[in-house]
Structure formats: C-alpha cells, structure tokens
Amino acid sequence: MKKYLVIGNPIEHSLSPTLHNYWIKENNINAVYDKKLIKENDIKDIIFQIKSKEIQGVNVTVPFKKKVIPFLEKLSPEAMESQSVNTIYLENKKVTGHNTDIAGFELSLRYHKYNVKNKKVLILGAGGVVPSIILGLKKMGVGKIIVSNRTKNKAEDLKNNFDNLEIVDWGETPCFDMVINATSIGLKNEDGIKIDYSVVGQNKFFYDVIYNPRETIFLKKAKFFGNKTENGKMMFVYQAHQSFTIWHKIMPKIEDKILKLLN
C-alpha cells in the first residue's frame, strides 16, 4: 500500500487527509494518507523515507514550507521562484519539491469568477503563503500589489524577490479592488485586522486564505459593509487536486459531496 503524509506543526486542524482519502477511495487506489506532527529535526528522516520509497508523497504545511528546501534534491520552477514547497515526491530518483499553492490560488479565483487583471490588490501579511499569492496574482495580470504586515521589514524583504510592490504601514487602508487576508488572524475567531471600512467603499472583494472557521470576522464585517467575500476553501481544494494529480496521475473529481464534507 502506498503511503502519503501531510507534515506540519500544528497539524491537528488539517483537512488534507479527509480530502485525499476521499479521492483515493473514489479512484480505487491502494493508498493511505495520514497527518504527522513533526519538529524541524524530523524533516531529514521524512525525506529519507521518500528517497527509500517507504513514503510516496508528502504535503508540507506551516511552518516548514521553506525549511524543507535544503533537504530536497530538485525544485520545480514554481518552488524555486516562491522558495516555498508544499508537495514532495520522487521523480527520476530525485526527491523533488513543488509548489501547488500558486495554482491553487489561481484556480480558486477562476472558480469564484473573479478577474484580477489590472486590479489593485492589498495583501495583509508577509508569511509563508504570500510569495505564492504574489506569483499567482502576477500570472493573472494584476495591476498593482500592495503589502501590509505588522512587522514591516518582512513586507519590505519581499521587494528583494518581486518588483513593483508597494508597502504600507500595518493599520493603513489604501484604496483597493481586492484585499487578501494572508495572516493567521481569524484562525481563533479573533479580530485583529484594522480595516477602515468607511474608506473602502462597497463591492470590493474580500478573500481570506483561512477556511476554518468558515467565516472569519474579517469576512463577516466585509459582508456587512456590502462586499463580496470568499474563504480559502477552494484554494485548499485546488492545491490538493494538483498534488493528487502529480502523485497518482489521475485527476480527481471535485464533487459537491466532498466540498460539503470539508465544511
């Protein structure tokens, strides 16, 4: 039986096993997908298990998406560009790291029928997922990206890898068409995002990478003020879809039944 894993810390909340095991069953594949809480010094051993074919594939979540890179033998162009790996497998005898968050983000916007071409997008946060979001937005022809992060120098650091970013202070509300919460605020139902809704206007698009809770306070307030809102569930689904397709060479179906199971 083939073995797959998602590694991270914390990992309890991860819905990857639910989704992957659903698709494994639907497609009659002899495999199992587990979650594993790890510490940084466990990475080496996990990678060795991929090399020795004890494990066929690994998904990586916070805080290890960058930390796994030194242990890998090859990176896909997407992983190289974002310096972020969420999918690992053996290819031509090399332990290879790939990033499916970029495609996951892009496909989620297409699913929600939001066209970012020439739009002004504000990203809140500068953590692990932000380079993938920036790459996805640029691929889709975004007009302007503004980044705001509590620790401003982390936002400034992004300028070393991406051109044409504008950085604003945390708490400032520049004008935008779309705003993305890429911080961890809201995971515990807390309200720490200072958006001045009186200057935002209506009919803007508020996107939260968080999907559990289903509706963060950030999204609730946005909706109250008359804006379009979406959470990160479809980004999660599409990044998993891409990983599954790479590992099993089968494109699984995204059915309503599994989308409901993830709620």
**Residues at the interface with ligand ATR (CB under 6 A):** 62-63, 125-129, 149-151, 154, 183-185, 192
Residue 8 Cβ, how far from ligand ATR at the closest point, in Å? 11
What is the Cα gyration radius of the chain?
18
Q: Which is nearer to ligand ATR, 56 or 149 (CB)?
A: 149
Please count the other Cβ atoms lying within 10 Å of the Cβ belonging to residue 152.
15
Torsion on CA atoms 170, 66, 99, 22, rounded to nearest 10? -100
Nearer to ligand ATR, 5 or 124 (CB): 124
Closest distance to ligand ATR from the beta carbon of 149 (Å): 5
- Position closest to ligand ATR via CB: 127
Q: Of the candidates 153, 150, 145, which has an alpha carbon nearest to the alpha carbon of residue 170?
A: 150
- 65 catalytically annotated: yes
Classified as helix, coil or strand, 140 is: coil
Q: 14 or 183, CB closer to ligand ATR?
A: 183
Two structure tokens written together for 165: 């970013």
Min separation Cβ 24 and ligand ATR, Å: 28
DSSP state of 203: S
Nearer to ligand ATR, 56 or 181 (CB): 181
Instruction: Give the pair of three-digit tokens for residue 58.
Output: 């690994």
Please identify, using beta-carbon distances, which residue of 24 and 102 lies nearer to ligand ATR: 102
In whole angstroms, how close is the CB of 82 to ligand ATR at the nearest point?
12
Catalytic residue among 2, 25, 65, 113: 65
**CB 157 to ligand ATR: min, Å:** 10
Would you say 123 and 147 are in contact if contact means Cβ atoms under 8 Å apart? yes
Distance CA 249, CA 101 (A): 18
Query: Sheet containing 178-181: which strands, arranged edge to edge?
Result: 165-168, 144-148, 120-124, 178-181, 205-208, 228-230
Tell me which residues are annotated as active site: 65
